[in-house]
Amino acid sequence: MTTPLQELLNTIRSGLVSRSLNTCGRWATHRRIMGGDFSGPYSFKHHPWCKGISDSTATYNTTMKAAQMGVTEVAINLALFTIDILKRDVLYVLPTTGTAGDFSKSRFNTALHHSEYLQNIFTNTNSVGLKQAGGVNLYIRGSRSDNGLKSVPVSVLILDELDEMDQRAIWLALERLSGQLSKTVHSLSTPTIPDFGIHKLYEQGTQEHFFFNCPHCGKKTELVFPECLKICGEHISDPKVSESYIRCKECKKELKQAAKPDYLKNAFWEATNRASKDHRSFYINQLYSFTINASELAEAYFRGIGDEAALVEYYNSKQGKPYVPDGGQITDAELQDATRNYVKADQRPEHGSSSLITLGIDQGKWNHACVVEYTQTHRGLDVNDTTEAKVLWEGKLPGSDFNAIGPLMREWQVKMCVIDADPQINDARRFARKFPGYVYLCRYRKGQSGKELQVSEEDDGAPIATVDRTNWLDASLGRFHTGRIMLPADTSLEFKTNIKALIRTYEKDKQGNPKAVYKNTGPDHFGHALNYAEIALKLAHAHATGADITGKIL
């Protein structure tokens, strides 16, 4: 039985310990209990790079990481430490409402399950999106829930898997910190493409790498691809792959996997960009991992040979680096090759012209328009594959004035126009009704197969084409790769920049299978205007020939 004196001593001891837990790292080693492979009190032994990330006092903190590097546990620690010790509200944002719910019920509740201390400080954990510890709140939200992000003023923001988020929602989440005297942001993610998401933020910070002294040569060094991964064997089934090893890039001697706890225990973060003072950014890859060995990394490399999706995974998840697949982005050279000796002010087609000219419009604050003429080059079943495109004109019209679009239809003798249905759908509908049979509204949707269109007629007579975004961008942007598109000599820089902003890469679907997607590194309005003109070609051909949108005869 505990005596009153022992209870008093325990209380004093507990208070002294609590006052000493003034950093996230120190707090985590005393308050977090882990399960699984690293069961027991939380430790930095197997993830030494996590301590510097945990204890950063910078206002903005960005971690660009390979997969499975223990950084999400750091984010959880930061949230719990802030609530327990700093007594400040936290907003923890994940890509979707579904992933936020899964995180809340698994990762967060598991942390509480293993720690009696944490169970005692939280007074309400029943709500998936809100956990309360006395008067302090932990909000867990998906990035695609605008209402969930608008209603929570906080001083600490954690953005987990930033590259998978709705990028527009990131700024909405950052706005939650407005008006706070003290504010902190932690962003973490496996990267996808350059100048996007986590890589874009990383470039703005200190760009810190994790250095150590080589146990062989004593020189300060780091583990980097490809210099530090010695790949053995010729292919993934070669038994020699198992002999692959990690080595020092300075002396080329092998760094044993089992010796990592020794040569990394005194490792340290060092900035490679001194320009930023209040934004620390960190980079870590799987060469440092205590649980992933060199042969596994070598196998991942071999899987990427001839498999673009696997190669993207190798760069993003293993190397922790952004990557653009071959042909994934329109290049300056391709734009130059497409440029011809004509200008946008050249003679317009005569009234009643038989030329197959379409108009694509991406609407918004400005309506970005693209007029394209298509000429058949050979016979085939798919009109988009058997034609050459010639961009006759591109430009911007005020988004508040849809009446300005009508003259384009007449000036260019447009056979078919496709316009983005949103955000001004009522204006788009009125425009479509002025040119019945010549204008379709368009929405991107998942689940359409190939380049197929699904057309529906709205009650007010404005037809809507529903298409797969990725496959149609493949069709329109693919013309640059195959040399089947021409641009005027005075094509605007904005048009070219917009086209280059769309990058084709891969991400995993809900079943974990790779799927092609387009991400943008900046404004891409003209890219979609060109895409809508491509879709309009399919619709114009169907109207002219009696073929339906799949190429079959009506």
The CA distance from 21 to 14, in Å, is 11
Nearest to 353 by CA among 413, 438, 439, 406: 413
Each residue of 209-257: pLDDT tens digit?
999 999 999 999 999 999 999 999 999 999 999 999 999 999 999 999 9
Terminal Cα distance for the chain, rounded: 88
Q: Which amino acid is at 475?
A: A
Please report how the helices 469-482 and 525-545 are oriented relative to each other, as an axis angle in degrees rounded to 10. 100
82 contacts 74 by C-beta, under 8 angstroms: no
The CA distance from 286 to 176, in Å, is 34
330 contacts 527 by C-beta, under 8 angstroms: no
Same domain (yes/no): 282, 353: no
Residue 370 lies in a domain: yes
Residue 554 lies in a domain: no
Same domain (yes/no): 260, 356: no
Please tell me what DSSP assigns to residue 212: E
139 SS3 class: strand
Q: Which of 290, 319, 348 is the last residue of a domain?
A: 319
Same domain (yes/no): 231, 273: yes
The CA distance from 438 to 48, in Å, is 63
Residue 114 lies in a domain: yes
- Helix residue ranges, H only, 122-231: 146-150, 167-174, 197-204
3-state secondary structure 280-347: EEEEECHHHCCCCCHHHHHHHHHHCCCCHHHHHHHHHHHHCCCCCCCCCECCHHHHHHHECCCCCCCC
Check residue 132 and give its pLDDT: 80
Check residue 221 and give its pLDDT: 97
The residue range of the domain holding 477 is 332-545
Residue 553 lies in a domain: no
Output the domain CATH number for residue 464. 3.30.420.240
Residue 6 lies in a domain: no
Same domain (yes/no): 148, 218: yes
Same domain (yes/no): 252, 304: yes
Check residue 26 and give its pLDDT: 96
Pairing of strands 136-142, 90-94: parallel
Same domain (yes/no): 184, 61: yes
Same domain (yes/no): 289, 351: no
467 SS3 class: strand
> H or E segment at 41?
strand 40-41
Residue 9 lies in a domain: no
Q: Report residue 486: phi and psi, to 5°.
A: -125, 145
Same domain (yes/no): 288, 370: no
Check residue 313 and give its pLDDT: 95
CA distances from 189 to 316, 334, 398 (A): 10, 32, 37
The CA distance from 471 to 312, in Å, is 19
Same domain (yes/no): 352, 277: no
pTM of the model: 0.86
Q: Which of 285, 319, 353 is the last residue of a domain?
A: 319
Residue 7 lies in a domain: no
Same domain (yes/no): 279, 362: no
Q: Which of 270, 288, 319 is the last residue of a domain?
A: 319
Check residue 129 and give its pLDDT: 77
Q: Which residues contact 209 (CB under 8 A, 6 or more apart)?
A: 222, 269, 270, 272, 283
Q: Which residues contact 214 (CB under 8 A, 6 or more apart)?
A: 221, 248, 250, 251, 253, 255, 263
Q: Report residue 91: phi and psi, to 5°.
A: -110, 115
Check residue 554 and give its pLDDT: 26
Low-confidence stretches of the chain (pLDDT < 70) are 1-19, 125-126, 145-152, 178-181, 446-451, 458-460, 546-554
Same domain (yes/no): 311, 346: no
Residue 13 lies in a domain: no
Domain count of the chain?
2
Same domain (yes/no): 539, 454: yes
The CA distance from 71 to 155, in Å, is 21
Output the domain CATH number for residue 281. 3.40.50.300
